[in-house]
Structure 1
Amino acid sequence: MASTSPSYKGHRYPVEVISHCVWLYFRFPLSFREVEELMLQRGVIVSYETVRRWCRKFGQAYADGLRRRRPQPGDKWHLDEVFIKVNGERKYLWRAVDQDGNVLDILVQKRRDKAAARRFFRRLMKKTSAVPRVIVTDKLRSCGAAHREVMPSVEHRSHKGLNNRAENSHQPTRQRERAMKGFRSIGGAQRFLSAFSGISPHFRPRRHRMTAHEYRAEMTVRFVIWDQITGAAGRPTTA
């Protein structure tokens, strides 16, 4: 699906530098200062504050561009919630993935009651413009109550053992949360994780199912897609 790359008007750095810094930050457990150091090693002088502004401005745009390139979600959705620390307090990260492990949406909320589940279900259907055939959740009663209210015609399977797909998708987030030592605000957590869940999986194919040759070929294709959605492909070297 064709999409328009973000505008870089007013930025003095080439798009290749901007997109590379954003890729480094969302793909690897790096701080802004560490991205600054890596770029310095390559002869590019850019401050960590500039990297932070680029990630905040372009991260979600890049993630949205990647999502638009994906096929329609599958008809079996796995939903799960996990606690995260925000400014030292427990909050909840709601996540939905399809049967292929593609992240459909995430939402950071203060609670995991019926209202929170209902809000996530409605947001999920609006964002995907789709209704699943089956949803799979754990034994949380809030999900069952919200399901009966929001999507009563959809089959609901509630069993902890069936929901490994969603639970496994939390692992990269956990790794990054540890590296960042938690989040400072709900809004900041939502912004980061929304972009992170769109960018990080793009560069995480199921390597254990591929030969080394297949993996390199797949990653080459994914880097081409990245250049296309960021606008780095075929652009001049100056902005």
Structure 2
Amino acid sequence: MNLPATSYKRHRFPPQIIAHAVWLYFRFPLSLRLVEEMLLKRGIVVSYETVRRWAMKFGPSHARRLRRKTPSPRDIWHLDEVVISIAGQQHWLWRAVDQDGYVLDEIVQTRRDTKAAKRLLKRLLKRQGCPPRRMITDKLGSYAAARRQIMPRIEHRSHKGLNNRAENSHLPLGKRERMMQGFRSVGGLQRFTSVFSAVRNLFVLPHSSQSALATHLHRLQAMAAWKAAAGVIA
């Protein structure tokens, strides 16, 4: 599906500056005020509130344009959930990553039960278009119950020691949560994670990138893909 080009009409700053500010905010563990300060260092006077509005307006549309990894029936899904406090109430961020650490999907829910696990699996199947070769989770029984109803033929391994890949995928968001001093709403968390993970996926190094040159080339390609998604390529 071809998405319409990003429009920067009625914005005082050039598209390159707006796209760069949005990239800084979602790519690195920076607060809005730190992004404001980094732009000021380059002679760009813009308030942190303006950066916030740019991130909210352009972040989701840029994320939708970023290239996605092609799903494969040979993929292994690692599923895990992490608790996040929003306005004093506990919520659960359910996340699925593949064998390379690529975030496949994530959803914020108030439950940590079979119903919530089923919702995640249904979203994954719809988004990926095919089931995985194997599903790996921790010992939470809700995963096994949901798998029996949604994907009964898929192999399921339930062992905490095997699920480090999914558990480690929570760490980058945890750093951002501390920097942002928490999230204020469920919708805000869901919107942020969808963009944050899309940008992170773009810059995650593949296992084949062993040399400094391969790493450098991958980052150049990732930056080119981001600029294309943001519509700022000359």
TM-score after normalising by structure 2: 0.91
Residue in 2 that maps onto 1:205? 205
Contact 2:100 2:207 survives alignment (8 Å) = no
Contact 2:92 2:110 survives alignment (8 Å) = yes
SS of residue in 1 equivalent to 2:221:
helix
The answer to whether 1:185 aligns with 2:199 is no
Deviates most, 197-206 or 223-232: 197-206
Deviation of 1:2 (Å)? 7.0
Unaligned runs of 5+ in 2: none
Residue in 1 that maps onto 2:136? 136
Residue in 2 that maps onto 1:16? 16
Contact 2:94 2:109 survives alignment (8 Å) = yes
Counterpart CA distance in 2 for 1:30 and 1:5 is: 27
Deviates most, 96-105 or 195-204: 195-204
Contact 1:3 1:229 survives alignment (8 Å) = no
Deviation of 1:64 (Å)? 2.1
Counting aligned pairs with the same residue, the percent is 53
The 5 Å alignment of 1:1-239 reads 4-66=4-66, 68-73=67-72, 75-205=75-205, 210-234=210-234
Higher relative contact order (CA 8 A, sep 6+): 1
TM-score after normalising by structure 1: 0.90
Measured against aligned partners, the alpha-carbon deviations of 1:133-174 in whole angstroms (never above 9, x if no partner) come to: 211111101111111111112221111111111111111111
Opposite residue 183 of structure 1, the aligned amino acid is: F
Contact 1:88 1:182 survives alignment (8 Å) = no
Unaligned runs of 5+ in 1: 235-239
Counterpart CA distance in 2 for 1:208 and 1:26 is: 25
Opposite residue 20 of structure 1, the aligned amino acid is: H
Counterpart CA distance in 2 for 1:57 and 1:181 is: 21
Contact 2:100 2:206 survives alignment (8 Å) = no
Cα RMSD for the two superposed structures: 2.0
Counterpart CA distance in 1 for 2:99 and 2:4 is: 29
Deviates most, 28-37 or 1-10: 1-10
Counterpart CA distance in 1 for 2:32 and 2:140 is: 37
Q: Which runs of 4+ in 1 moved over 4 A?
A: 1-4, 206-209
Measured against aligned partners, the alpha-carbon deviations of 1:100-146 in whole angstroms (never above 9, x if no partner) come to: 11100011111111111111111121122222121111110111111
Contact 2:63 2:229 survives alignment (8 Å) = no
SS of residue in 2 equivalent to 1:7:
coil
Measured against aligned partners, the alpha-carbon deviations of 1:15-41 in whole angstroms (never above 9, x if no partner) come to: 111110001101111111221121122
Deviation of 1:81 (Å)? 0.6
| Cα 1:75/1:211, change in 2 over 3 Å | closer
Contact 1:4 1:229 survives alignment (8 Å) = no
Size of the aligned set, in residue pairs, is 233
Contact 2:65 2:229 survives alignment (8 Å) = yes
Opposite residue 197 of structure 1, the aligned amino acid is: S
